[in-house]
Amino acid sequence: MRNRITARAFSNIALIKYWGKLPTKLNSPATPSISLAVSALKTETTVCRIESGRDKFILNGKPTDMATSQRLREYLDIWRKQKLIAGHFLIESRNNFPTGAGLASSASGYAALAVALGAFTETPIDKAELSRLARIGSGSAARSVMGGLAFLPDGKNPAAKLIMPADKIPWGMVMAIVESKHKKINSRTGMGHSAETSPYYQSWIKSAKSDCRKMLRAIYRNNLAEIGITAEANALAMHACMMSARPPLIYWNPVTIEIITRVPCWRKSGLETYFTIDAGPNVILLGRKQDLLQIARRVKRIAGVKDVVVGFPAGGAEVIRWN
C-alpha cells in the first residue's frame, strides 16, 4: 500500500478562456477553453496517508486558510464518496510562482492533487478520468492534467483533450507580473457574479464558442497571427463581461493597460507577440520560442512591471516520487 505520493503539475494559461459554469454540481464549464501549459509555473504536491480523523493542508509551508481548507476537504470527500480513496490525508503543496494572482495556481494545484490521489486508488484511473476529477476541483486543472496545448470542451462532465504535446509546440509565453498579491475576488466568485449581473454574459458565452472554433483552426494551421489575434479578442471579451458586471469586476491596473497598448506597436516594429490576461492584472505574452527573451527584455523596461517570467511549453501532470 502506498503511503506518500508526490505529483508535479504545470499551470496553464488559456488562449481561449473558461469563464462561466453550467448549473450542475460537477463544476461544469459553460465555455470551451484552450490553454498552453507553461514550464515556469510549477506545483509539487505531496499526499500522505495519516492516522488522524481529519485531513490537513499545507500550502507553501503554511496551513491553508479556512475557506481553502474547506474547499479541499470537500474535494477529498468527493473522492471518498466515489470509493476511490479511503481515510485521511496530509496534503502539502508548493508553487514556485505567486498564488492567486491571476497565474492559475488552482490549475496546477488541483491537477497535481488529482494525479497524486489517483495513485492511491486500487484500480488505475486513466488520464481522461483524472482530467474530469481534476476539473471538479478546479475547471482549469482539467487542462493541466494533459499539459501541452489542451482543449476543455464546455458541457456537463468534460475531460480535457491534448491538442498538441509540449515538444511539438513552437511558441512559449512571457508572464509580466505587475502584482503578486492575492487577488480580491477569486475566479469562482467572479464567474458567478458575471453570470448573475452582466448584461453581456450570454453574448460572452456565444462569442467564446465561436472564438474556440477559430482558435482550433488556427492551431491546426500553425498560424501564430490568427492564434494571437483570436486570443487577444477572447481575453478582452471576457474582461468586458467582467467589467460590465454590477458592481464591476475590474482586475486590471494601469500597468496592465500600459503593456497591452504597447503590444501592437511591438508587432509593427517586427516583434510578433500577442497578449492575454487572466482574472488578475498580470499580462501574459505569447510568442515564438526564439523571440521570448526579446519580448521579456521589452516588458522589463516598462515601469511598474515587478517581475518577468519566461515559460516554455510543459507536459502533463505526473507522479514524480512515491514510497
- What is the binding site for ligand 2P0 (CB under 6 A)? 14, 17-19, 27, 33, 104, 106-107, 138-140, 187-188, 278-279
Instruction: Work out how close the CB of 163 gets to ligand 2P0 at its nearest, in angstroms, rounded to a whole number.
Output: 15
| Strand intervals (E) in 161-298 | 161-164, 171-177, 273-276, 283-288
* Residue 125, Ramachandran bin (φ over 0: left; ψ between -120 and 50: alpha; else beta): beta
Q: Which phi and psi angles does 287 have, rounded to 5°?
A: -165, 170
Q: Which is nearer to ligand 2P0, 166 or 291 (CB)?
A: 166
CA 10 – CA 134 distance, rounded (Å): 13
Instruction: Work out how close the CB of 131 gets to ligand 2P0 at its nearest, in angstroms, rounded to a whole number.
Output: 13
CA 249 – CA 219 distance, rounded (Å): 31
Q: Which is nearer to ligand 2P0, 31 or 266 (CB)?
A: 31
Packing angle, helices 201-220 and 224-243, rounded to 10: 170
Does residue 315 sit in helix, strand or coil? coil
Q: Which is nearer to ligand 2P0, 32 or 172 (CB)?
A: 32
Of 22, 315, 2, 279, residue with least CA distance to 158: 22
Instruction: Work out how close the CB of 290 gets to ligand 2P0 at its nearest, in angstroms, rounded to a whole number.
Output: 26
As given in the structure block, the three cell numbers for residue 191 are 464567474
